[in-house]
Each structure stands twice: as C-alpha cells, then as structure tokens.
Amino acid sequence: MTAYDWVVVGAGLTGLTVAEQLANGQGARVLVVDQRTHIGGNIYDEVDDNGVLVHKYGPHAFHTGSKPVWDYLSRFTEWMPYEHRVLASIEGKLLPVPYNFTTLEALLPARAESLKAALLARHVPGSRVPVLRLLEDTDPQIAEFGEHVLDVVFRGYSAKQWGRPVEELDRGVMGRVPVVLSYDDRYFRDEYQAIPLDGYTAMAARMADVDGVTVALGEDGHAAIAANPRARALWTGPVDSYFAHEHGHLPYRSLRFDLQTRDERRVQPVAQVNYPGTEPWTRITEHAHFSPRATLRTTLGVEYSETHVPGVNEPFYPVHDDESRALHKVYQAACRELEPKVYFAGRLGDYRYYDMHQAVGRALQLVPSLVAGTALPEAA
Ligand code: UDP
C-alpha cells in the first residue's frame, strides 16, 4: 500500500490545484478522494445525448484578472475565447444584466438621458457601481434609480436564489452584480475570459494526471483520512461536515437543474437568461454556447434554488449573515486546532463564495504554508 504524504478531500479546483502543486513541486505522494464518482467538483461537465457539453452544476464562465492564475490553468487546457453575456427577462423583454445603459434606455426611456447625466456626474464613465451605493446617494434621482434597479433585477431573483428578502442579503453578494455606466454588456470585465476548449472535466483530469497524484472517486473523506494516519490532510468539503456538525449546521443554498431538450440548434441568444420575475426558476442556461461543438439539438438547464438539506441535496453556496458568520468563527477556531495535521480550504472548506479563479488563486497561495506546516494566510 502506498504511503501517502497528503490526503486531499475533494477533487474540485481547490483540491486539484493543491494536489498538483504538492506532487509536482514538492514530490509529495497525494491521495485525492471525492465522494462523488467524478472529478472536478462543481466545474464538472459532460456530453449529453444531444451532443451538448453540459455544465452539470450550473453555468461556469471562467474569468480572472490574475495572470498567475491564468498561466497556471493554461498549463492544463487550451481555451475557447468566451465573454459571458447575460440577459434578464424583464417586463417581457430580454435586457442586459448587469444593468447597463441599454437596460436603462429600454426600461426608462423618458428619463434615460437625465439619469445617465446624473450618474456620470457622480461616477467615472464605464464604472461598475454596486446598487447599494446608488441607493445611498444623496441625489434623490439616483437613489430612486437604485430602487428601480433593485426592483427589476434583484428583488425577485434574490428572493428565489436565497430564500430571503433582498434587504437581508449580504452586501458582498449584491456587489457581485453592479450597475454598469456604459453600454458594456459583458458580465465580467476581467482581462482573461475563456472556457476550457475541451471542457472543464478534461482540464481537471489533466491537473490530476501528475506523478504522485492518485485519485479515488466515490470515497468517503473521513475514511480516507483514517486509513492514512501518517498523512496530513486538506479538507475541501463543507467545514461543518468535517466536525460532524458538532457546533451546528452552517447554512448553504442548494440548486436543482431540470435539463430539457429542444429540437433546434439554439433557442437563446446567450448562454444564460435570468428570470427576476415571478417564474419559479432563477435562470435558464443553454449549455451549447459554452463549447465549440456543433450540435443539431440543444439542451436547456432550468435552474431552481432550494434550501440545502444535508444528505438530501448538495451544498452550493454559503449563506452569509451574522448568525452564520458567528457559527463559522467557531468552526474556524476548531480548524486552527487541527493544523498542521489537517487544513481547510475551498468554497465549502473556507465557507466563502469563491469564483473559480479565486479558488485557484487561494489554493496556489496556500501551498507554501501547507508544505511548511504553518498557519494559512488570511483569505482576502
Ligand atoms: N442577482 C440578482 N439578479 C440577477 C443576477 C444576480 O438578483 O439577475 C443577485 C443574486 O442575489 C445572486 C447574486 O446577485 O445570487 C450574485 O449573482 P451571480 O451571477 O454572481 O451568481 P452565481 O452565478 O454565482 O450564482
């Protein structure tokens, strides 16, 4: 039996990045286990019966401003240039989100010119302003405009996505989708935006295809750690599940996808259409946009958000509020006690709303501390 130096629990981006770095850079023997029967965590994609490469856990559009992160992943994949553009179904029209000047002119035509002038008097043209900043503006015209954006883009969508009123939403979550003071209709403005040419799963498989890394799928993390008592461990699953929820359950949101076939090549102008209205779903993803594969039929993923129930559905998003932050602090203290034998990282392990590039950036940042057995640097 191989004597492993490390057990990495979770074969998602965080786990794979750390495993690859430990094996490639340090010559460590790393066992990566995942309870799922596939690699990649939530970036996993697979070709369905329509020939469409489906992002099984929802739309993943890669973007980063970090050259080191871009260069790192570029070792494992070629890229299809792709800039994410999202439309929202508002008042019967498909309009750009983030809300931009096109959205403004379509929804408030009579006031568009004066609003644009007022906004540009306050902010640099092209800037991306959090809607909460608009609401706080002392100019009543701008504050009222903020209320309008809140109503048409955020109120309905957030109630569905988070199961709570928009007023109770974390500032950071709201800030992810700003108001854009230009006609730029890209969802992100990062320098590097693309999708792995042959998919995320293929990229993940190449990350794991390194001397020293062994991947075991359908394996329980606790069992793998127990079976390798000399190894140190990195846990990228839900932090509270490591501790068998002994201090309580951290709240997460879960997602459900209803995959539907349409006998047409494309039905949506873009990969993602959001539904901030009264429909029970939050968004519909047309996966064929994410790949250069030519297909005759198309697959739609109708997305519903639900409360996470352990053992029933999967945790996707941490739900941050005062109570969950306080509980997470308790778990963080428990985590520190286990270092340097066991470390925690990743969206679920850190209980943070990381995007893919942030997960990779954080994982790269952690490696020296893991190797040295020292405390991890604070997450940004
Ligand atoms: N959001 C919204 N309406 C939209 C898009 C986003 O209200 O049309 C809010 C919602 O609360 C969502 C958050 O902004 O959870 C972050 O959106 P993002 O697109 O970053 O979510 P993700 O793709 O990570 O699920």
Buried b / exposed e along 77-110 (16+ C-beta atoms within 10 A): bebeebebbbbbbbeeebbbbbbbbebbbebeee
> So what's the ipTM on this one?
0.99
In which domain, by residue range, is 362 found?
Answer: 6-43+64-78+194-248+321-372
- Does the structure show a pLDDT above 80 at 126? yes
Residue-wise pLDDT tens digits, 178-192: 999 999 999 999 999
Residue 269 placed within a domain: no
- Does the structure show a pLDDT above 80 at 1? no
The answer on 339 and 238 residing in a single domain is yes
The answer on 227 and 327 residing in a single domain is yes
User: Are 52 and 261 in contact, with CB atoms under 8 Å apart?
Assistant: no
The answer on 128 and 230 residing in a single domain is no
Q: What is the mean pLDDT of the chain?
A: 97
Determine the average pLDDT of the residues in 308-325: 96
> Which of 43, 60, 157, 358 to mutate to test ligand 1, by most ligand atoms within 8 A of the CB atom?
157
Q: Ligand 1, closest atom to CA 86?
A: 8
d(CA 240, CA 129): 35
> Which of 95, 107, 177 to mutate to test ligand 1, by most ligand atoms within 8 A of the CB atom?
177
Distance 158 CA to ligand 1 centre (A): 7
The answer on 173 and 104 residing in a single domain is yes
Residue 258 placed within a domain: no
The answer on 38 and 158 residing in a single domain is no
Domain-ending residue, one of 181, 207, 227: 181
- CATH for 204: 3.40.50.720
Question: What does 105-174 look like in DSSP terms, one character per residue?
Answer: HHH-GGGHHHHHHHHHHHS-TT-EE-HHHHHT-SSHHHHHHHHHHIIIIIIHHHHHHHSS-GGGS-HHHH
Domain-ending residue, one of 181, 207, 233: 181
Distance 163 CA to ligand 1 centre (A): 13
């996993």: which residue's tokens?
44
Nearest CA among 45, 15, 41 for reference residue 30? 15
What residues line ligand 1, using a CB cutoff of 6 Å?
Answer: 88, 97, 153-154, 157-158, 161-162, 169, 173, 176-177, 274, 276
CB within 8 Å of 218: residues ≥ 6 apart: 34, 35, 36, 37
The answer on 29 and 174 residing in a single domain is no
Residue-wise pLDDT tens digits, 56-70: 999 999 999 999 999
- Does the structure show a pLDDT above 90 at 376? yes
Q: Ligand 1, closest atom to CA 177?
A: 14
Determine the average pLDDT of the residues in 223-242: 98
Residue-wise pLDDT tens digits, 277-292: 999 999 999 999 999 9
pLDDT at 380: 76
Quick one: angle between helices 356-372 and 67-74, nearest 10?
Answer: 90
Whole-model pTM: value is 0.97
Determine the average pLDDT of the residues in 240-244: 98
pLDDT at 379: 82
Distance 2 CA to ligand 1 centre (A): 44
Distance 148 CA to ligand 1 centre (A): 17
Distance 162 CA to ligand 1 centre (A): 10
Give the confidence band of 2 by pLDDT, cuts at 50, 70, 90. confident
- Does the structure show a pLDDT above 90 at 151? yes
pLDDT at 293: 92
Give the confidence band of 43 by pLDDT, cuts at 50, 70, 90. very high
d(CA 288, CA 284): 12
The answer on 220 and 161 residing in a single domain is no
The answer on 335 and 235 residing in a single domain is yes
d(CA 55, CA 42): 8
Using CA positions, which residue lies closest to atom 1 of ligand 1?
154
d(CA 38, CA 41): 8
Phi-psi region of 238 (alpha: psi -120 to 50; beta: other; left: phi over 0): beta
Residue-wise pLDDT tens digits, 246-278: 999 999 999 999 999 999 999 999 999 999 999
CB within 8 Å of 39: residues ≥ 6 apart: 11, 16, 201, 204, 205, 208, 215, 217
Amino acid identity of 341? K
Residue-wise pLDDT tens digits, 189-206: 999 999 999 999 999 999
The pair of structure tokens assigned to 348 is 């679920």
Q: Say how many domains are in the chain.
A: 2
Distance 380 CA to ligand 1 centre (A): 21
Distance 253 CA to ligand 1 centre (A): 13
Q: Ligand 1, closest atom to CA 169?
A: 11
Give the confidence band of 167 by pLDDT, cuts at 50, 70, 90. very high
Using CA positions, which residue lies closest to atom 24 of ligand 1?
355
The answer on 243 and 176 residing in a single domain is no
Domain-ending residue, one of 181, 208, 238: 181
Distance 160 CA to ligand 1 centre (A): 10
Nearest CA among 353, 341, 343 for reference residue 377? 343
DSSP state, residue 249: P
